[in-house]
A and B are shown apart, each in its own frame.
Chain A
Amino acid sequence: MARADVAVVGAGLAGLTAAIHLAQAGARVQVLATGHAATHWAPGGMDVGATPGARSAQEAVDHLARLDGHPYRFLAGGLPAALAWLRSLLDAEGINLVGGLADPLRAIPTAIGSTRLAAILPDGMAAALPPWAPGETLVVCGPAGFREFWPDAIAASLRRGSSWRGQAGPSRVEALTVELPGLAGRHNLSSLDLARSFDDPDWRLLALDTIARAIEGRVTGPGRLALPAVLGLTDHPAVLAAARARLPLAPFEVALVPPSVPGLRLFAALRATLRRHGGRIQVGEAVHGRLGETGRVELRAPAAAREFVLSAGALILATGGIAGGGIVAEQSGGLVETVLGLAVEGPPVGARLLDDPFDPAGHPLESAGIRTDTHLRPVAPGAPDSPLAANVRIAGSLLAGQRYLRERCGDGVAIASGRLAALELLGPGPVGAARAVAAAVGGTAQR
Chain B
Amino acid sequence: MTIAELVAEATAQPVGLSADECLKCNVCTTVCPVARVTDLFPGPKYVGPQAQRFRLGTTLSPGSGGLSVVPSPDRTVDYCSGCGLCTSACPADVKIAEMNNRARAAARSGHRPRFRDWLLGQTDLTGRLGVLAAPLANWSLHNRLIRMLIDRLIRIDRRAPLPRFSRRTLRSRLGRYRRSAWSADAPPPDRAVVYFHGCAANYYEPHVGQAAIDVLERNGFTVIVPPQVCCGLPLISNGLYGQARSRARQNLDVLAGYARAGYRIVGSSTSCTHTLKAEYREMLDIDDADARAVAGATWDICEFLLDLHEQGRLDTRFGTLDRTLPYHAPCQLRSHGIGLPALDLFELVPGLRAIDMDHDCCGIAGTYGLKSEKYDIAMAVGAPLFERIRTSGAGQAACDSETCRWQIASATEANLVHPVEILAEAYAAGDPPNPAPPTRP
Contact (A259, B25) CB under 8 Å given A190-B43, A305-B296: yes
Could you say which interface size class chain A belongs to? Answer: 35 or more
Contact: B339 with A308, CB < 8 Å? Answer: yes
Contact of A192 with B by CB under 8 A: yes
Contact of B338 with A by CB under 8 A: yes
A347 proximity list for chain B (CB < 8 A): none
Contact of A275 with B by CB under 8 A: yes
A187 proximity list for chain B (CB < 8 A): 39, 42
A-binding segment of B87-95, B195-203, B317-325, B411-419: B87-95
Closest Cβ of chain B to A282, distance in Å, is: 6
B88 proximity list for chain A (CB < 8 A): 35, 283-284
Contact (A259, B27) CB under 8 Å given A303-B336, A325-B92: yes
Q: In the complex, which residues 25-54 of chain B have their Cβ closer than 8 Å to any Cβ of chain A?
A: 25-27, 29-31, 35-36, 39, 42-43, 46
Tell me how many residue pairs across A and B have CB atoms closer than 8 Å: 94
Cα A41 to Cα B23 in complex, Å, equals: 11
Q: In the complex, which residues 295-316 of chain A have their Cβ closer than 8 Å to any Cβ of chain B?
A: 301-306, 308
Contact (A2, B27) CB under 8 Å given A35-B92, A286-B93: no
A354 proximity list for chain B (CB < 8 A): none
Cα A74 to Cα B25 in complex, Å, equals: 33
Closest Cβ of chain B to A147, distance in Å, is: 12
Contact of B288 with A by CB under 8 A: no
Q: Which residue of B lies closest to A325 (CB)?
A: B91
Contact: A303 with B27, CB < 8 Å? Answer: no
Contact of B274 with A by CB under 8 A: yes
Contact: A34 with B93, CB < 8 Å? Answer: yes
B338 proximity list for chain A (CB < 8 A): 303-304, 308
Cα A285 to Cα B88 in complex, Å, equals: 7
Contact: A190 with B29, CB < 8 Å? Answer: yes
Q: In the complex, which residues 233-283 of chain A have their Cβ closer than 8 Å to any Cβ of chain B?
A: 258-259, 264, 275, 280, 282-283
Q: Which of B31, B90, B335 contacts A304 (CB 8 A)?
A: B335
Contact of B334 with A by CB under 8 A: yes
Contact of B337 with A by CB under 8 A: yes
A165 proximity list for chain B (CB < 8 A): none
A283 proximity list for chain B (CB < 8 A): 88-89
Contact (A308, B337) CB under 8 Å given A36-B91, A325-B92: yes
Cα A407 to Cα B229 in complex, Å, equals: 60
Contact: A258 with B27, CB < 8 Å? Answer: yes
Contact: A40 with B30, CB < 8 Å? Answer: yes
B296 proximity list for chain A (CB < 8 A): 305-306
Contact: A305 with B298, CB < 8 Å? Answer: yes
Contact: A37 with B27, CB < 8 Å? Answer: yes
Contact (A36, B31) CB under 8 Å given A3-B310, A303-B337: yes
Q: Which of A34, A190, A284, A305 contacts B334 (CB 8 A)?
A: A284
Contact (A2, B36) CB under 8 Å given A259-B27, A283-B88: no
Contact: B339 with A2, CB < 8 Å? Answer: yes
A299-342: CB near B (< 8 Å → 1, else 0) gives: 00111111010000000000000001100000000000000000
Cα A188 to Cα B74 in complex, Å, equals: 13
Contact: B36 with A280, CB < 8 Å? Answer: no
Closest Cβ of chain B to A285, distance in Å, is: 5
Contact of A186 with B by CB under 8 A: yes
Q: Which of B30, B43, B274 contacts A36 (CB 8 A)?
A: B30
Taking A188-B42, A192-B29, A308-B338 as known contacts, 15 extra A-B pairs with beta carbons closer than 8 A to each other, sorted by chain A number, are A35-B27, A35-B93, A36-B27, A40-B27, A186-B39, A188-B39, A188-B43, A196-B36, A258-B27, A275-B358, A282-B337, A286-B93, A304-B337, A304-B338, A305-B298
Q: Which 10 A-B pairs have the closest CB atoms?
A: A303-B337, A35-B91, A305-B277, A284-B88, A37-B91, A304-B277, A304-B278, A305-B295, A188-B42, A259-B26
What would 19 A/B residue contacts be, using CB atoms closer than 8 Å? A1-B310, A34-B93, A35-B89, A190-B29, A192-B30, A192-B35, A258-B25, A259-B27, A264-B30, A282-B339, A285-B93, A303-B336, A303-B337, A304-B278, A304-B336, A305-B276, A305-B298, A324-B91, A325-B91
Which of B's residues lie within 8 Å of A, judged by CB?
Answer: 25-27, 29-31, 35-36, 39, 42-43, 46, 87-93, 274, 276-278, 295-296, 298, 310, 334-339, 356, 358
